[in-house]
Structure 1
Protein backbone atom coordinates (compact mmCIF):
# COMPACT_ATOMS: atom_id res chain seq x y z
CA UNK A 1 0.00 0.00 0.00
CA UNK A 2 1.24 3.47 -0.85
CA UNK A 3 0.18 6.26 1.45
CA UNK A 4 1.05 9.92 1.19
CA UNK A 5 2.71 10.82 4.46
CA UNK A 6 2.03 14.51 3.91
CA UNK A 7 -1.74 13.87 3.92
CA UNK A 8 -1.85 10.96 6.36
CA UNK A 9 -3.70 12.06 9.47
CA UNK A 10 -2.72 8.76 11.15
CA UNK A 11 1.00 9.37 10.67
CA UNK A 12 0.71 13.01 11.78
CA UNK A 13 -1.21 11.99 14.90
CA UNK A 14 1.32 9.24 15.72
CA UNK A 15 4.13 11.83 15.53
CA UNK A 16 2.19 14.15 17.86
CA UNK A 17 1.60 11.29 20.33
CA UNK A 18 5.33 10.50 20.38
CA UNK A 19 6.10 14.24 20.57
CA UNK A 20 8.39 14.11 17.56
CA UNK A 21 8.40 16.38 14.53
CA UNK A 22 6.39 15.27 11.51
CA UNK A 23 8.17 14.11 8.37
CA UNK A 24 7.33 15.61 5.01
CA UNK A 25 7.64 12.47 2.92
CA UNK A 26 8.33 8.76 3.22
CA UNK A 27 10.91 9.30 0.50
CA UNK A 28 13.04 11.72 2.53
CA UNK A 29 15.15 8.80 3.74
CA UNK A 30 15.12 9.81 7.39
CA UNK A 31 14.98 7.07 10.04
CA UNK A 32 11.56 8.39 11.13
CA UNK A 33 10.13 8.27 7.61
CA UNK A 34 11.46 4.77 6.99
CA UNK A 35 10.14 3.48 10.32
CA UNK A 36 6.72 5.09 9.79
CA UNK A 37 6.44 3.60 6.29
CA UNK A 38 7.45 0.16 7.55
CA UNK A 39 5.20 0.07 10.62
CA UNK A 40 2.07 1.84 9.30
CA UNK A 41 0.58 -1.31 7.68
CA UNK A 42 1.45 -3.35 10.78
CA UNK A 43 -0.25 -0.88 13.11
CA UNK A 44 -3.34 -0.70 10.89
CA UNK A 45 -3.68 -4.48 10.63
CA UNK A 46 -3.09 -5.03 14.37
CA UNK A 47 -5.97 -2.67 15.15
CA UNK A 48 -8.29 -4.11 12.48
CA UNK A 49 -7.85 -7.68 13.74
CA UNK A 50 -8.09 -6.75 17.44
CA UNK A 51 -11.90 -6.56 17.41
CA UNK A 52 -14.86 -7.33 15.14
CA UNK A 53 -15.07 -3.70 13.95
CA UNK A 54 -18.14 -2.74 11.93
CA UNK A 55 -15.96 -0.84 9.42
CA UNK A 56 -13.94 -3.98 8.64
CA UNK A 57 -16.67 -6.63 9.00
CA UNK A 58 -17.48 -8.70 5.93
CA UNK A 59 -19.78 -11.68 5.47
CA UNK A 60 -18.93 -13.88 2.51
CA UNK A 61 -20.07 -17.19 1.02
CA UNK A 62 -17.25 -19.51 -0.03
CA UNK A 63 -17.56 -22.43 -2.43
CA UNK A 64 -15.28 -25.44 -2.08
CA UNK A 65 -12.11 -25.22 -4.17
CA UNK A 66 -9.16 -27.38 -5.05
CA UNK A 67 -5.98 -25.74 -3.80
CA UNK A 68 -2.88 -26.66 -5.81
CA UNK A 69 -0.18 -28.29 -3.71
CA UNK A 70 -2.44 -28.77 -0.69
CA UNK A 71 -2.42 -32.32 0.61
CA UNK A 72 -5.80 -33.88 1.31
CA UNK A 73 -6.91 -34.25 4.91
CA UNK A 74 -9.03 -37.38 5.38
CA UNK A 75 -10.89 -35.86 8.34
CA UNK A 76 -11.63 -32.52 6.65
CA UNK A 77 -11.90 -33.33 2.97
CA UNK A 78 -13.17 -30.00 1.59
CA UNK A 79 -11.12 -26.83 1.18
CA UNK A 80 -12.18 -23.19 0.97
CA UNK A 81 -9.84 -20.32 0.07
CA UNK A 82 -10.01 -17.32 2.40
CA UNK A 83 -10.63 -14.01 0.59
CA UNK A 84 -7.47 -12.07 -0.27
CA UNK A 85 -8.44 -9.16 2.02
CA UNK A 86 -9.15 -11.38 5.05
CA UNK A 87 -7.07 -10.36 8.07
CA UNK A 88 -8.86 -12.44 10.69
CA UNK A 89 -11.59 -15.03 10.50
CA UNK A 90 -14.21 -14.35 13.16
CA UNK A 91 -16.83 -17.00 12.48
CA UNK A 92 -17.68 -19.93 10.25
CA UNK A 93 -21.46 -20.30 10.14
CA UNK A 94 -23.15 -23.65 9.82
CA UNK A 95 -22.57 -27.06 11.22
CA UNK A 96 -19.65 -29.39 10.99
CA UNK A 97 -16.04 -29.37 11.99
CA UNK A 98 -13.56 -27.01 10.36
CA UNK A 99 -9.95 -25.91 10.77
CA UNK A 100 -7.98 -23.00 9.35
CA UNK A 101 -4.64 -23.93 7.78
CA UNK A 102 -2.91 -20.75 6.64
CA UNK A 103 -5.20 -19.13 4.05
CA UNK A 104 -7.41 -22.23 3.65
CA UNK A 105 -10.41 -23.39 5.66
CA UNK A 106 -10.75 -27.17 5.74
CA UNK A 107 -14.22 -28.55 6.44
CA UNK A 108 -15.98 -31.87 6.67
CA UNK A 109 -18.93 -30.58 4.65
CA UNK A 110 -19.06 -29.83 0.91
CA UNK A 111 -21.69 -27.10 1.20
CA UNK A 112 -21.04 -23.40 0.73
CA UNK A 113 -19.47 -21.91 3.86
CA UNK A 114 -20.65 -18.55 5.10
CA UNK A 115 -17.94 -16.73 7.02
CA UNK A 116 -17.56 -13.44 8.89
CA UNK A 117 -14.12 -11.87 8.84
CA UNK A 118 -12.15 -8.66 9.32
CA UNK A 119 -11.03 -7.19 6.02
CA UNK A 120 -7.96 -5.13 5.37
CA UNK A 121 -8.79 -1.47 4.84
CA UNK A 122 -6.39 0.42 2.58
CA UNK A 123 -7.90 3.93 2.58
CA UNK A 124 -7.59 5.93 5.80
CA UNK A 125 -10.90 7.66 5.10
CA UNK A 126 -12.68 4.29 5.34
CA UNK A 127 -11.44 3.75 8.90
CA UNK A 128 -13.52 6.43 10.58
CA UNK A 129 -12.24 8.71 13.36
CA UNK A 130 -12.09 6.15 16.20
CA UNK A 131 -10.10 3.65 14.14
CA UNK A 132 -7.80 6.32 12.70
CA UNK A 133 -6.93 7.43 16.23
CA UNK A 134 -6.47 3.79 17.31
CA UNK A 135 -4.12 3.12 14.38
CA UNK A 136 -2.15 6.30 15.21
CA UNK A 137 -1.86 5.23 18.84
CA UNK A 138 -0.79 1.71 17.78
CA UNK A 139 1.78 3.18 15.39
CA UNK A 140 3.15 5.39 18.17
CA UNK A 141 3.28 2.36 20.48
CA UNK A 142 5.24 0.32 17.92
CA UNK A 143 7.74 3.13 17.29
CA UNK A 144 8.05 4.50 20.85
CA UNK A 145 10.99 2.23 21.83
CA UNK A 146 13.00 3.79 18.99
CA UNK A 147 11.90 7.43 19.05
CA UNK A 148 10.74 8.09 22.64
CA UNK A 149 13.54 8.26 25.21
CA UNK A 150 11.43 8.48 28.36
CA UNK A 151 10.14 5.22 29.84
CA UNK A 152 7.29 7.18 31.45
CA UNK A 153 6.23 8.56 28.06
CA UNK A 154 6.41 5.06 26.51
CA UNK A 155 4.22 3.73 29.35
CA UNK A 156 1.81 6.61 28.77
CA UNK A 157 1.60 5.74 25.06
CA UNK A 158 0.87 2.09 25.93
CA UNK A 159 -1.85 3.08 28.42
CA UNK A 160 -3.26 5.49 25.84
CA UNK A 161 -3.52 2.64 23.34
CA UNK A 162 -5.70 0.62 25.72
CA UNK A 163 -7.92 3.65 26.44
CA UNK A 164 -8.34 4.52 22.75
CA UNK A 165 -9.18 0.92 21.80
CA UNK A 166 -11.64 0.67 24.69
CA UNK A 167 -13.46 3.86 23.65
CA UNK A 168 -13.50 2.71 20.02
CA UNK A 169 -15.03 -0.64 21.04
CA UNK A 170 -17.73 1.07 23.09
CA UNK A 171 -18.55 3.43 20.22
CA UNK A 172 -18.57 0.56 17.71
CA UNK A 173 -20.89 -1.50 19.91
CA UNK A 174 -23.74 0.76 18.83
CA UNK A 175 -23.46 -0.56 15.26
CA UNK A 176 -25.34 -3.80 16.08
CA UNK A 177 -28.19 -5.05 18.20
CA UNK A 178 -27.33 -6.17 21.71
CA UNK A 179 -27.54 -9.94 21.27
CA UNK A 180 -24.80 -12.54 21.31
CA UNK A 181 -23.21 -13.39 17.98
CA UNK A 182 -21.11 -16.33 19.15
CA UNK A 183 -23.92 -18.89 18.83
CA UNK A 184 -23.91 -19.76 22.54
CA UNK A 185 -27.07 -19.53 24.58
CA UNK A 186 -27.28 -16.39 26.71
CA UNK A 187 -25.97 -17.02 30.20
CA UNK A 188 -27.27 -14.98 33.08
CA UNK A 189 -24.59 -16.11 35.51
CA UNK A 190 -21.81 -13.58 35.91
CA UNK A 191 -19.51 -16.39 37.10
CA UNK A 192 -19.78 -18.35 33.86
CA UNK A 193 -19.32 -15.16 31.82
CA UNK A 194 -16.21 -14.28 33.84
CA UNK A 195 -14.75 -17.74 33.30
CA UNK A 196 -15.30 -17.75 29.51
Structure 2
Protein backbone atom coordinates (compact mmCIF):
# COMPACT_ATOMS: atom_id res chain seq x y z
CA UNK A 1 0.00 0.00 0.00
CA UNK A 2 1.27 3.48 -0.88
CA UNK A 3 2.16 5.76 1.99
CA UNK A 4 0.15 8.98 2.22
CA UNK A 5 -0.34 11.70 4.80
CA UNK A 6 -3.74 10.20 5.62
CA UNK A 7 -2.39 6.65 6.01
CA UNK A 8 0.37 7.90 8.32
CA UNK A 9 -2.18 9.76 10.46
CA UNK A 10 -4.57 6.80 10.46
CA UNK A 11 -1.84 4.44 11.61
CA UNK A 12 -0.88 6.90 14.35
CA UNK A 13 -4.51 6.96 15.51
CA UNK A 14 -4.55 3.15 15.51
CA UNK A 15 -1.43 3.12 17.68
CA UNK A 16 -3.36 5.24 20.18
CA UNK A 17 -6.37 2.91 20.12
CA UNK A 18 -8.54 5.37 18.20
CA UNK A 19 -10.63 5.11 15.04
CA UNK A 20 -8.89 5.81 11.75
CA UNK A 21 -9.73 8.50 9.22
CA UNK A 22 -10.35 8.12 5.48
CA UNK A 23 -9.35 11.67 4.56
CA UNK A 24 -8.58 15.00 6.18
CA UNK A 25 -12.21 15.94 5.37
CA UNK A 26 -13.67 12.75 6.90
CA UNK A 27 -17.18 13.71 8.04
CA UNK A 28 -17.61 10.59 10.20
CA UNK A 29 -14.52 11.29 12.29
CA UNK A 30 -14.40 15.04 11.72
CA UNK A 31 -12.64 16.01 14.98
CA UNK A 32 -9.81 13.50 14.49
CA UNK A 33 -9.52 14.39 10.80
CA UNK A 34 -9.24 18.12 11.57
CA UNK A 35 -6.73 17.45 14.34
CA UNK A 36 -4.58 15.39 11.96
CA UNK A 37 -4.97 17.95 9.18
CA UNK A 38 -3.80 20.74 11.50
CA UNK A 39 -0.86 18.89 13.08
CA UNK A 40 0.52 16.84 10.20
CA UNK A 41 2.20 19.58 8.08
CA UNK A 42 4.17 20.89 11.07
CA UNK A 43 5.15 17.41 12.29
CA UNK A 44 6.21 16.43 8.74
CA UNK A 45 8.31 19.56 8.17
CA UNK A 46 9.99 19.31 11.60
CA UNK A 47 10.80 15.67 10.95
CA UNK A 48 12.23 16.37 7.49
CA UNK A 49 14.35 19.23 8.86
CA UNK A 50 15.75 17.03 11.64
CA UNK A 51 18.08 15.03 9.36
CA UNK A 52 19.28 15.06 5.74
CA UNK A 53 17.08 12.10 4.74
CA UNK A 54 18.33 10.70 1.44
CA UNK A 55 14.81 10.80 -0.03
CA UNK A 56 14.43 14.50 0.77
CA UNK A 57 17.64 16.05 -0.57
CA UNK A 58 17.89 18.12 -3.77
CA UNK A 59 20.66 19.92 -5.63
CA UNK A 60 20.14 23.00 -7.79
CA UNK A 61 22.15 25.79 -9.35
CA UNK A 62 21.09 29.33 -8.39
CA UNK A 63 21.53 32.65 -10.18
CA UNK A 64 21.84 35.86 -8.14
CA UNK A 65 18.91 38.17 -7.44
CA UNK A 66 18.87 41.48 -9.27
CA UNK A 67 19.11 43.35 -5.94
CA UNK A 68 22.50 42.97 -4.25
CA UNK A 69 22.86 43.13 -0.45
CA UNK A 70 23.33 46.66 0.90
CA UNK A 71 26.71 45.85 2.49
CA UNK A 72 29.23 43.10 3.35
CA UNK A 73 28.22 40.55 0.68
CA UNK A 74 28.26 40.96 -3.10
CA UNK A 75 25.35 38.70 -4.12
CA UNK A 76 22.02 37.47 -2.78
CA UNK A 77 20.27 34.29 -3.92
CA UNK A 78 16.62 33.46 -3.21
CA UNK A 79 16.12 30.07 -1.58
CA UNK A 80 13.74 27.72 -3.41
CA UNK A 81 10.17 27.80 -2.09
CA UNK A 82 10.41 24.12 -1.06
CA UNK A 83 13.65 24.56 0.94
CA UNK A 84 13.35 23.45 4.56
CA UNK A 85 17.05 23.45 5.45
CA UNK A 86 20.29 24.38 3.67
CA UNK A 87 22.87 21.60 3.74
CA UNK A 88 25.65 22.94 1.53
CA UNK A 89 26.48 25.97 -0.62
CA UNK A 90 29.18 25.49 -3.25
CA UNK A 91 30.83 27.36 -6.10
CA UNK A 92 33.08 25.59 -8.59
CA UNK A 93 32.76 22.37 -6.51
CA UNK A 94 34.15 24.01 -3.35
CA UNK A 95 32.28 24.95 -0.20
CA UNK A 96 32.12 28.70 0.21
CA UNK A 97 31.47 31.22 2.96
CA UNK A 98 27.87 32.38 3.06
CA UNK A 99 25.21 33.80 5.34
CA UNK A 100 21.52 32.95 5.49
CA UNK A 101 19.20 35.91 6.03
CA UNK A 102 15.49 35.32 5.78
CA UNK A 103 14.92 33.29 2.61
CA UNK A 104 18.20 34.40 0.99
CA UNK A 105 21.76 33.12 0.76
CA UNK A 106 24.33 35.93 0.82
CA UNK A 107 27.84 35.34 -0.54
CA UNK A 108 30.57 36.75 -2.78
CA UNK A 109 30.17 34.24 -5.64
CA UNK A 110 28.22 35.07 -8.83
CA UNK A 111 26.75 31.57 -9.15
CA UNK A 112 26.21 28.92 -6.51
CA UNK A 113 25.12 25.33 -6.16
CA UNK A 114 22.75 24.53 -3.33
CA UNK A 115 22.18 21.17 -1.66
CA UNK A 116 19.15 21.29 0.58
CA UNK A 117 16.35 19.41 2.29
CA UNK A 118 13.15 19.98 0.36
CA UNK A 119 9.57 19.77 1.53
CA UNK A 120 8.87 16.30 0.14
CA UNK A 121 5.09 16.02 0.38
CA UNK A 122 4.96 12.78 -1.62
CA UNK A 123 5.17 10.29 1.23
CA UNK A 124 5.17 7.44 -1.28
CA UNK A 125 8.76 8.43 -2.23
CA UNK A 126 9.95 8.25 1.39
CA UNK A 127 12.09 5.46 2.78
CA UNK A 128 10.03 2.97 4.80
CA UNK A 129 11.86 3.90 8.00
CA UNK A 130 10.91 7.57 7.50
CA UNK A 131 7.26 6.58 6.98
CA UNK A 132 7.38 4.59 10.22
CA UNK A 133 9.06 7.46 12.00
CA UNK A 134 6.42 9.91 10.76
CA UNK A 135 3.73 7.59 12.11
CA UNK A 136 5.42 7.50 15.52
CA UNK A 137 5.85 11.30 15.43
CA UNK A 138 2.15 11.77 14.67
CA UNK A 139 1.22 9.38 17.48
CA UNK A 140 3.34 11.49 19.84
CA UNK A 141 1.73 14.71 18.58
CA UNK A 142 -1.79 13.30 18.88
CA UNK A 143 -1.32 11.37 22.13
CA UNK A 144 -2.65 13.87 24.63
CA UNK A 145 -5.48 15.13 22.42
CA UNK A 146 -6.73 11.59 21.77
CA UNK A 147 -6.10 9.92 25.14
CA UNK A 148 -6.11 12.87 27.60
CA UNK A 149 -3.17 11.10 29.29
CA UNK A 150 0.12 12.87 30.04
CA UNK A 151 1.82 9.53 30.70
CA UNK A 152 0.75 8.28 27.24
CA UNK A 153 2.08 11.50 25.69
CA UNK A 154 5.39 11.16 27.55
CA UNK A 155 5.70 7.51 26.56
CA UNK A 156 5.07 8.33 22.89
CA UNK A 157 7.60 11.19 22.96
CA UNK A 158 10.25 8.86 24.45
CA UNK A 159 9.48 6.26 21.77
CA UNK A 160 9.85 8.97 19.13
CA UNK A 161 13.31 9.93 20.40
CA UNK A 162 14.48 6.29 20.25
CA UNK A 163 13.00 5.77 16.78
CA UNK A 164 14.53 9.02 15.51
CA UNK A 165 18.02 7.97 16.61
CA UNK A 166 17.60 4.56 14.96
CA UNK A 167 16.20 5.97 11.68
CA UNK A 168 18.98 8.59 11.46
CA UNK A 169 21.61 5.88 11.92
CA UNK A 170 20.10 3.67 9.21
CA UNK A 171 19.73 6.55 6.78
CA UNK A 172 23.26 7.81 7.48
CA UNK A 173 24.78 4.37 6.86
CA UNK A 174 23.53 4.34 3.28
CA UNK A 175 26.06 6.98 2.23
CA UNK A 176 29.84 6.71 2.04
CA UNK A 177 31.70 8.51 4.82
CA UNK A 178 32.49 12.15 4.17
CA UNK A 179 36.14 13.12 3.82
CA UNK A 180 37.51 16.20 5.49
CA UNK A 181 40.07 18.48 3.94
CA UNK A 182 42.28 18.07 0.93
CA UNK A 183 43.06 14.41 0.21
CA UNK A 184 46.04 15.42 -1.96
CA UNK A 185 47.64 17.21 0.98
CA UNK A 186 47.06 14.19 3.22
CA UNK A 187 48.58 11.88 0.61
CA UNK A 188 51.64 14.14 0.31
CA UNK A 189 52.13 14.13 4.09
CA UNK A 190 51.93 10.35 4.12
CA UNK A 191 54.57 10.11 1.38
CA UNK A 192 52.13 9.38 -1.46
CA UNK A 193 52.96 12.50 -3.42
CA UNK A 194 50.55 14.41 -5.63
Q: Name the structure 2 match of 1:62.
A: 62
Aligned length: 176
Instruction: Mark the runs of 5 or more structure 1 residues left unpaired by the alignment.
Output: 186-196
**What's the CA shift string for 1:67-121, capped at 9, x where partnerless?**
5xxx7321012111111211111122245532111211111232x1122110111
Q: Name the structure 2 match of 1:16.
A: 14
- TM-score (structure 2 length as normaliser): 0.80
Instruction: Please state if 1:78 is matched with 2:40.
Output: no
Q: Name the structure 2 match of 1:137.
A: 136
* Structure 1 residues 184 and 160: alpha-carbon distance in aligned structure 2, compared to 1, 3 A threshold: farther
Instruction: Please state if 1:27 is matched with 2:25.
Output: yes
**Cα RMSD over matched residues?**
2.4
- TM-score (structure 1 length as normaliser): 0.80
Aligned partners of 1:130, 1:99: CA distance in 2, in Å?
33
Instruction: Mark the runs of 5 or more structure 2 residues left unpaired by the alignment.
Output: 183-194
- Specify the SS of the correspondent of 2:143: helix
Checking the alignment, whether the CA contact within 8 Å between 1:13 and 1:133 is kept in structure 2 is no
* Rg (Cα) greater in structure: 2
Larger displacement relative to structure 2 (164-173 or 25-34) = 25-34
- Specify the SS of the correspondent of 2:76: strand
Moved over 6 A (4+): none
